[in-house]
Structure 1
Amino acid sequence: MTRPEPVFEEPWHAQVFAITVHLNETGLFTWQQWAERFGATLKRHGHHTRLNGGSDYFAAWLETLETLLGDTSVADPAQLETLRHAWEAAYLNTPHGAPVTLDARAD
């Protein structure tokens, strides 16, 4: 029996996708608004070809979500940036195979 290929290459791809879908379903934005913003992000980064849904695609997805949250005043852009750096530092300082956790002081 063969195992099915994962839908997402990385767990964070699935997580950012799920968060975006949830925010859409709560009425924060329409899917058309999302698609227009995401398309603009891809274009701005020169992603004119079909992407495979890998990290470059989801990095653009995350950038779009962060911008949308800032533009709609759901989240403070400076706080998002601080949080992003804290997660990056946690990731880079976590031994391979160990769960990545955010230091409580980063809040």
Structure 2
Amino acid sequence: MNRPEGAAADLPPGVDAPVFAEPWQAEAFALTVALHDKGLFSWNEWADALSAQVKKPNAAADGRDYYEHWLAALENLLASKGLAAKSDVDAMAHAWERAAHATPHGKPILLENDPTGQDQASR
């Protein structure tokens, strides 16, 4: 079986596969740590929020959707603490999605690329 270059089997001995499958997962992780460090929530609050998400009946048994649950837990925690309303988070996510679709391949995705300019209203 031919494996793509860079597959986990090609890693040097003693080096595990990357923790994050995609950059957004690392960003969600870093954002959670940064918000905790700012004192916006405790680790117990975070653990409760994440636990509630991963225990949902629709969670994949193999954990492949772990970071989707991570992100949902963060969004719910921020909303429950009055730090970011779900509608604001959703509006910003849609702005980023529009910006991604409007960005030429190979170029960095910037919120300014949102063709509707609706990101300005949520800042």
Q: Return the TM-score normalized by structure 1.
A: 0.79
Residue 46 of structure 1 corresponds to 58
Q: Where does structure 2 lack aligned partners over 5 or more consecutive residues?
A: 1-10
- Report 1 or 2 for greater relative contact order, CA contacts < 8 Å, sequence distance ≥ 6: 1
Deviates more, 1:64-73 or 1:23-32: 23-32
Task: Identify unmatched segments of 5+ residues in structure 1.
Answer: none
Q: Distance in 1 between matches of 2:57 and 2:28?
A: 19
Q: Percent identity?
A: 39
Letter of the 1:70 counterpart: A
- Could you report, residue by residue, the CA deviation over 1:12-55 in whole angstroms, capped at 9, with x for unpaired residues? 11111011011112221111211111111122252263525xxx
**Over aligned residue pairs, what C-alpha RMSD do you find?**
2.3
Q: Distance in 2 between matches of 1:45 and 1:66?
A: 19
Match runs of 1:1-107 below 5 Å: 5-44=17-56, 46-47=58-59, 49-52=61-64, 56-103=65-112, 105=117, 106-107=119-120
Task: State the distance in 2 between where 1:42 and 1:6 align.
Answer: 21
Deviates more, 1:89-98 or 1:72-81: 89-98
Instruction: Specify whether residues 36 and 48 from structure 1 end up closer, same or farther in structure 2 by C-alpha distance, changes over 3 A only.
Output: farther
**TM-score (structure 2 length as normaliser):** 0.70
